[in-house]
Chain A
Amino acid sequence: MAKSAASVNAMRRDHKFTWKEIKRQKVLLIIALAVFIYGIVFYYLPLFGWAMAFIQYKPKGGIFGSAFIGFDKFKFLFTNESIGFWRVMRNTFCMGALNLITSTFMAVLFAILLNEIKPKIIKKPIQTISYLPHFLSWIVVVGILHSALSSTGIVNELLMKFGIVDQAINFFAFPEYFWAIVAFANVWKETGWNAIIYLSSITSIDPTLYEAASIDGAGRWAKIKYITLPGIKPTFMILLLINVGNILNAGFEVQYLLGNGLVKKVSETIDIFVLKWGISQNDFSLGTAAGIFKSAISILLIVLCNAWAKHAGEERLF
C-alpha cells in the first residue's frame, strides 16, 4: 500500500511543469503542437465562417470586406415562403426520425433474434452477410434499390404475381412513398451493422440470469422481455441520445440521389438546401445561415433528450 502511494506521488511530481519535464517530453510536445495547429485550421477556422451568415458575403471582399446585415438572412429564411425552408426542415426532421425509429427497431430485433440462434455454423454466415450492405456506398445501394423498385424490377414483379396490383407501380413518382423508401434503404444498409453493438451488449448479460429464469419456468418470450431487453437498455439509451443529435444530419445522399422533380416537395433536406443555395446559387450567406440553424437545433435536441434521460433516471451522455 505504502509503496504504491509513494509511486503515485512520484508520478505526480513528474507531471510538474518544469523545464526539465518539457525537455524530456519534447517529442510529445512537438507532435501535440502540429496536431493542435491542424485542428485549429481544419476544425476551428470553419466556425469563424459562421460570421458569413450575418454579412452579405462577397468572395472578393472576404469576411471583413462584406457588408454587415445582422439577422436579415435568418429572417429571409424563416419568412420567405417561396424558398420553402420550413418544408425542408419538416422533410429532414421527419425522415431523420423515421429512419432512427425503423433502423433502431430492426437492429434490436435482428440482434435479439440472431442471439437466439445457437449453432455457430448458422449464426456466423448470417452475421457476415448482414454486414455486407454497410460496406457498399450509397451510390451502389441506391442503384440497386432503384432497379429493384423500377417498373420492371423484382418488387413490382412479385406484387403482380401475387395479384396485389394489376399494373406496375412507379414508386419514385409518388411523394407518399418517398419517406418509406428512404427508411427502407437505411434499414437495408445498416441493420446488420447497427446490430453489432446490441449483440455485444446482449452477450455481456450475465448468463446465470437466464438459467435462473429457466428454472423459474420462464419461456423464450419472458426471458427476452425481462432479461434481454432490460439488459440492452443502457446501450439503447446512449445510442438514442447520440442519434437524436444526428437526426438532422441523416439526410443527404439517398435523398440527393433518389430525388426527382415529382417528389421534390418531400425529398429535399436541409443539406440539399444548403448545397443548392450555397454552392450552386452562390448565396454563401444564406447557406451558412441554414447550416447554423441546423446545428443549433441539433444541439438543442441533444440537450433536451439528455435532460429528459437525466430526469427519467436513465443513462446519459453528460
Chain B
Amino acid sequence: MEKKIKHKKPLNGWDIAFKIFLAVFMVVFLVATLYPVINTVALSFNDGTDAVRGNIYLWPRVFSTKSYKTVLAMENLLTGFKISVFRTVLGTLTSLVANALLAFVISRKRFLFSSQLSFFYVITMYVNGGLIPTFILYKNLGLMSSFAVYWVPGLISAWNMLVLRTYMKGLSESLEESAQLDGAGYFTIFTRIISPLCKPVYATIALFVAVGQWNNWFDTMIYNRLDTSLTVLQYELMKLLSSVMQQSGSAESAKNSANTITPITVRSAATVVTMLPIICVYPFLQRYFVTGLTIGGVKE
C-alpha cells in the first residue's frame, strides 16, 4: 500500500488491479446468474430430438414451439396454473387486508391493548409448534384437501405486520385528528386516510406475499397431494423434474429410463412457464421491495 497522497493523483497500480478485479467479479457474477436462465429458455424453444445431442447454449439450434404445445396440453399443469394464479391473487389480497388491519389497530396511539397485541404476535416469530402439531391442527380444522389451506394459515404474519406498523407509525397524525373532528370513524380513517398514504408499503407486502404464494409447493405436497384438482404449478413442475433428479444417483438407471422421463425441452418449457410471471413483474417493483427491506430492518 502506498503512503503518498492520492487525492488528485491518477490511477496507480493498486487502483488498476482493483478495477480489473471488480470488472472480472461482476462479469462472472452476471454470467453465472443469467446463463442458466437463458440456457433454459433456449432449450425450451429447441426441437426435442435435436436437443438430446447437447451443445445448446444461448440460442435454440432447431427452433420449435412443440414443447410449449406439449406443456399446455398437460391437464395437470393447466389446473396447477389456474390454482396458482387464484391462490396468489386471493392469498395476497386477504393477507394484505388482514395484516394492514392489524397494523392499523396496533399503531393507533389511543388503542388500549396496543403493546399487548403487538407482543402476542412478535412471540410467534420465535416459537412455533412445528410441522407435526400444525399438520394435526389443520387436519382437525378440516383444511386437508381444501383450497382454504392455501390462504387461511398465512393470513397474518408477524413480520409483515411489523413492517406495516412501522410505516403507519411514521405517518403524521394531524390528518387523522382532523378527520376525527369531522366525525369520521376508524373504518373511514383506515380506508380513506391511512391506506392511500400506505400505498408503497402495501405494494412491498403484496409483492412478498405474492412471491411466497406463487412459489409455494410444500402445502400442496403435505395437505392436498391426493386432490389433483387443487394442485399448484410448482408442485407439478416438481413432479416433472424430480423423476429426473432422483435418477442422478446412478447413471445406469438414468439410461434405462431415458424413454420414460420427460424430455429436457419439455421440462425447460414447464420451468419457463413457472418462472415467467414473476420475472416479468419484479423489475418494476424494485423500489418497493428495497424500501420494504429497509423499513423492516432485516429479513431473509
Query: Could you tell me which A residues sit within 8 Å of B by CB distance?
Result: 11, 14-15, 17, 21-22, 24-25, 27-29, 31-32, 35-36, 38-39, 41-50, 52, 59, 110, 113-114, 116-117, 126-133, 135-140, 142-148, 150-152, 154, 170, 172-173, 188, 190-192, 196-197, 200, 214-215, 217-222, 235, 238-239, 242-243, 245-246, 252-253, 257-258, 260-263, 271, 274-275, 278-279, 284, 287-288, 291-292, 294-295, 299, 302
Q: Top 8 A-B pairs ranked by shortest CB distance?
A: A49-B133, A46-B129, A291-B130, A137-B215, A260-B249, A46-B133, A172-B248, A27-B186
Cβ of B249 and Cβ of A173 under 8 Å apart?
yes
CB contacts (< 8 Å) of B199 on chain A: these are none
Contact, CB under 8 Å: A36 / B120: yes
Identify the B interface with A (CB < 8 A).
1-7, 12, 14-15, 18, 22, 25-26, 29-30, 32-37, 39-40, 54, 57, 98, 101-102, 104-105, 108-113, 117, 120-121, 124, 126-137, 141, 152-153, 155-156, 185-187, 211, 214-218, 222, 234, 237-238, 241-242, 244-251, 264, 267, 271, 274-275, 278-279, 282-283, 286, 289-290, 293-294, 297-298, 300
A28-B111, A32-B113, A291-B130 given; A143·B4 CB < 8 A = no
Chain B, interface SS category: helix
Alpha-carbon gap, A221 to B18, bound state (A): 9
Closest to A204 in B: B294
The reply to whether B5 and A217 form a contact with Cβ atoms under 8 Å apart is yes
Take A46-B129, A275-B131, A278-B132 as given contacts and tell me if A31 and B293 are in contact as well, using a CB distance cutoff of 8 Å: no
Contacts of A144 in B (CB 8 A): 36-37, 40, 271
Separation of A131 and B282 alpha carbons in the complex (Å): 9
> Would A35 and B22 count as touching, CB distance under 8 A?
no
- CB distance A170 to B251 under 8 Å? yes
Contacts of A142 in B (CB 8 A): 241, 245
User: DSSP majority for the A interface?
Assistant: helix
A274 contact set on B, CB distance < 8 A = 130-132
Given contacts A25-B112, A143-B241, A262-B249, contact A220 B15 (CB under 8 A): yes
Contact B222 A36 (CB under 8 A): no
Contacts of B237 in A (CB 8 A): 139-140, 143
Partner of B245, one of A114, A190, A260: A260
Distance of A293 from chain B, by nearest CB (Å) = 10
14 contacts between A and B (CB under 8 A): A11-B110, A28-B105, A49-B129, A59-B136, A135-B211, A135-B278, A151-B251, A173-B249, A192-B33, A215-B5, A219-B12, A219-B15, A287-B132, A292-B130
Residues in A whose Cβ lies below 8 Å from that of B36: 144-145, 147-148, 154
Inter-chain CA distance A260–B101, complex, in Å, is 45
Q: Which residue of A lies closest to B152 (CB)?
A: A42
Distance in Å: Cβ of A303 to nearest Cβ of chain B? 11
Instruction: Check B14–A196 contact: CB distance below 8 A.
Output: no
Q: B272 CB to closest chain A CB, in angstroms?
A: 9
Among A42, A140, A242, A245, point to the contact of B153 (Cβ < 8 A): A42
Tell me the complex Cα distance, A38–B94, Å.
14
- Verify A49–B244 contact, CB threshold 8 A: no
Known: A32-B117, A200-B290. A221 touches B14 (CB 8 A): yes
Q: What's the Cα separation between A275 and B222 when bound, in Å? A: 9
Contacts A50-B130, A196-B290, A258-B245 known; list 7 others, CB within 8 Å: A41-B137, A42-B152, A132-B37, A133-B33, A200-B294, A246-B300, A291-B129
Q: Does A32 contact B111, Cβ atoms closer than 8 Å?
A: yes
Residue on B nearest A51 in the bound complex, by CB: B133
Interchain CB contact under 8 A, B135 and A278: yes
What is the minimal beta-carbon distance from B211 to any residue of chain A, in angstroms? 6
Q: In the docked arrangement, what's the CA distance between A196 and B290, Å?
A: 7
Which chain B positions have C-beta within 8 A of A151? Answer: 251
